[in-house]
């Protein structure tokens, strides 16, 4: 993967200022969380942000174990183009999502998790760090060597990425995209300077 072609997703967007700042910094995709967490947004708030975004920016909704029809309803209402599933969604569930790109998240602790991911036919495979009681946004890295030989489809690398380590991760894994949330925050809030630094590191600047 050419270093300049790695896509960048900033997840956990909470307000318009952060969204536009991330886009200006060079993000390719923004993530909006519709699952219980400190980053959770209401569909109304997400809709207000998304309708102000410029074209060609991917709008990704993060969901955990919601019925597929509810996911599609929220996606349609808010203006998403991609749904990212962080729960126990089955391969059949993922196939049932209609009209949207589907990214499935997998917590990686060993080769068995990589084998489980191979059972899915989705548009993207997000590999993240397992953490008790948490689904994504842990700020903890997993053993990237496990991801380096993943070949099922477009790989989105997450889990503990930050400006200081993202270039190392890209060099080792060669992912399609990188996904960051807590790694560009200061005291629990998105930090535009950290987002800019992260983007520069991904692009090799």
Q: Which residues are identified as catalytic?
A: 11, 128
Q: Which two tokens stand for residue 167?
A: 């270039």
Distance CA 81, CA 87 (A): 19
Residue 29: how many CA atoms within 13 Å on its side-chain side?
Answer: 26
Q: According to the 3-state scheme, what is the secondary structure of 84-104?
A: EECCCCCHHHHHHCCCCEEEE
Distance CA 197, CA 205 (A): 9
| Sign of the C-alpha dihedral computed for residues 115, 143, 5 and 72 taken in this order | positive
């Amino acid at each position: 993967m050419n270093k300049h072609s790695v896509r960048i997703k900033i997840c956990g967007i909470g307000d318009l200022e952060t969204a536009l700042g991330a886009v200006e910094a060079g993000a390719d995709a923004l993530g909006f969380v519709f699952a219980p967490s400190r980053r959770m947004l209401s569909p109304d708030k997400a809709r207000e942000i998304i309708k102000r975004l410029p074209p060609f920016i991917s709008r990704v909704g993060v969901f955990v174990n919601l019925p597929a029809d509810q996911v599609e309803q929220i996606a349609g209402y808010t203006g998403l183009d991609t749904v990212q599933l962080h729960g126990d969604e089955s391969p059949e569930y993922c196939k049932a999502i209609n009209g949207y790109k589907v990214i499935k998240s997998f917590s990686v602790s060993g080769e068995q998790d990589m084998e489980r991911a191979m059972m899915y036919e989705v548009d993207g495979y997000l590999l993240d760090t397992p953490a008790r009681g948490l689904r994504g946004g842990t700020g903890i890295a997993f053993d990237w060597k496990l991801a380096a030989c993943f070949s099922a489809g477009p790989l989105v690398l997450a889990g503990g990425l930050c400006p200081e380590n993202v270039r190392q991760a890209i060099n080792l894994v060669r992912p399609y995209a990188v996904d960051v949330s807590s790694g560009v925050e200061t005291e629990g809030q998105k930090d535009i300077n950290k987002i800019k630094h992260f983007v520069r590191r991904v692009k090799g600047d």
